[in-house]
Structure 1
């Protein structure tokens, strides 16, 4: 049985992007606590290897490092990403291109870089950190929703395409949780920034909570991991009561417009 399919404490070889802080750091700590070897990567200080997920050269260097150090990889965690969004008539095309290059093409580049290795060894897992926004699409976040939905689609397609090679794909879709992601927020829509910051700051869920749920989901083999109660409830409402879900989303849209006009929540 390969290390990728054994349970906790199996000494899996894992690469995590965006691992210097937030969820990436929490995931790293969780993996290491159960006995896994983790290569942490980031553009920030504090990681084992510098990896800009928008750079083909950096991904090639990461593959070479893994080959030389471990001779293979059991789990690739595409976690690195940025916060963004904005109402349709406020967000600029530059903002759309920026978030797409990082949040979508970062995962695409990482997947493409390591798929040949995973195919050759006939085992492995690809874990893409998306967002609840990949499944539930609130107003004011079109660009973020779109790229995270694309990551969900990428993951499902990856799982189908690589199943014959013993490789599985998993997508993580958390709701708002306490992390430093908002430090990366960019955009002209200050009303959205106010709402998002409040939701992050007041969330009862920590990065460590999400990481624990992710590891549990991977142990079960879940292809879609909704790691917190808020994410589970929101997606559950969409599936069970589409009219009710639409009403909630449209009420939130109206509230965002009022905030943009009045400057108060």
Structure 2
């Protein structure tokens, strides 16, 4: 794939860093953005050894001005950007009765509104240059409905809906949108997780450890989707099977399947 210019939120670790690494090795101009300044500066050196033009920008996706400043800076130094990856996200687990509204507001502001801000900021730039590609990282949680994850599920389902809407809305402007829906895989998502369920961290660690795919595997699938301008990326086979079951089985059968997974 021809080298391009890419901006990645949450780019200092996990999937974001894996994407940055692949692009740097491919000769792309890479900008990683992250609110963790210490981590961002730490990984910048390793990326610059591969691609000296790699840059890091401190960025909090809950702050519109941070994203707007990033878009302005990239237009100044690169003359634009070809791919924007809205990757930053957090996790929350808990029943509807136990999850405080403040947790709902927190996760929506990052998982949903962070993507909204990214798309809103960079769409005018894409329109001005006549092309662009958004990669919005959602989750299989946005397609399925596992109990005790209502806030997280809803935030990711909204990212799926937003992405599918923008696929239609932005197509006339030569702007592509891909939504990525991975299942659990080894990442640092659990570090900032909020949970009202005892022992959830250890359960999450087991789910992540059991994944047959890692961040690099998923990053490679995203790169292939970029090349082919695919609308959806569902990396995990088990996740795809569960989604097909939800779509085609009677609801009561699917619910029995979901509850059987909890035992």
Distance 1:213 1:182 in 2: 23
Cα RMSD between the aligned structures? 1.5
The answer (yes or no) to whether the contact 1:140–1:192 under 8 Å persists in 2 is no
Shift of 1:31: 1.8
After superposition, give the CA deviation of every residue in 1:130-171 in whole Å (9 maximum; x if it has no partner): 000111110110000000000001101111111111001110
Distance 2:144 2:100 in 1: 22
Distance 2:204 2:164 in 1: 28
Is residue 226 of structure 1 aligned with residue 225 of structure 2? no
Structure 1 segments (4+ residues) deviating >6 Å: none
190-199 or 112-121: which moved more?
A: 190-199
Q: 1:151-170 to 2 correspondence within 5 Å?
A: 151-170=159-178
Shift of 1:57: 1.6
Q: 1:243-254 to 2 correspondence within 5 Å?
A: 243-252=252-261
Q: 1:1-265 to 2 correspondence within 5 Å?
A: 8=1, 10-44=2-36, 45-47=38-40, 48-242=56-250, 243-252=252-261, 255=263
Provide the secondary structure at the position in 2 that maps to 1:174: coil
Distance 2:152 2:208 in 1: 15
Distance 2:16 2:227 in 1: 18
The answer (yes or no) to whether the contact 1:138–1:252 under 8 Å persists in 2 is no
TM-score (norm 1): 0.88
Shift of 1:220: 2.2
Provide the secondary structure at the position in 2 that maps to 1:190: coil
**Cross-structure match for 2:52:** none
Shift of 1:100: 0.6
After superposition, give the CA deviation of every residue in 1:228-262 in whole Å (9 maximum; x if it has no partner): 22222221222232443221223356x5xxxxxxx
Distance 2:26 2:223 in 1: 10
Distance 1:218 1:136 in 2: 24
TM-score (norm 2): 0.89
The answer (yes or no) to whether the contact 1:95–1:187 under 8 Å persists in 2 is no
How many aligned positions are there?
246
